Amino acid sequence: MNIGFIGLGVMGASMAGHLLAAGHRLGITTRTASKAQGLLDQGAHWYPTPAALVTDCEVVFTIVGYPQDVEAVYFGSDGLMSALQAGQILVDMTTSSPELAIRIATATEERLALALDAPVSGGDKGAREAALSIMVGGDAKAFETIKPLFDLMGKNIVYQGPAGSGQHCKLCNQIAIASNMLGVCEALAYAKRSGLDPHLVLSSISTGAAGSWSLSNLAPRILDGDFEPGFFIKHFIKDMKLAVESAQSLGFDAPGLSLALKQYQSAAQQGLENAGTQALFRVYTKQED
In this prediction, residue 289 carries a pLDDT of 46
How many whole angstroms separate alpha carbon 143 and alpha carbon 148? Answer: 9
In this prediction, residue 35 carries a pLDDT of 79
How many whole angstroms separate alpha carbon 41 and alpha carbon 180? Answer: 40
Residue count of the chain: 289
From 170, 192, 234, 286, active-site residue: 170
Query: Is 127:11 a contact under the CB 8 Å cutoff?
Result: yes
Residue 170 among the catalytic residues: yes
**Amino acid found at 173:** N
- What pLDDT digit, counting tens, does each position of 210-232 carry? 999 999 999 999 999 999 998 89
Give SS3 for 116.
strand
Give SS3 for 6.
strand
H/E run at residue 192:
helix 165-193
In this prediction, residue 287 carries a pLDDT of 54
pTM of the predicted structure, to 2 decimals: 0.92
Higher per-residue pLDDT: 288 or 199:
199
- What pLDDT digit, counting tens, does each position of 138-160 carry? 999 999 999 999 999 999 999 99
How many whole angstroms separate alpha carbon 79 and alpha carbon 82? Answer: 6
- What pLDDT digit, counting tens, does each position of 154-192 carry? 999 999 999 999 999 999 999 999 999 999 999 999 999
Over residues 112-132, mean pLDDT: 95
Residues 6+ apart with CB under 8 A from 262: none
Domains of the chain: residue spans and CATH: 2-162 (3.40.50.720), 169-288 (1.10.1040.10)
Q: To 5 degrees, how large is the angle CA 114–CA 247–CA 241?
A: 85
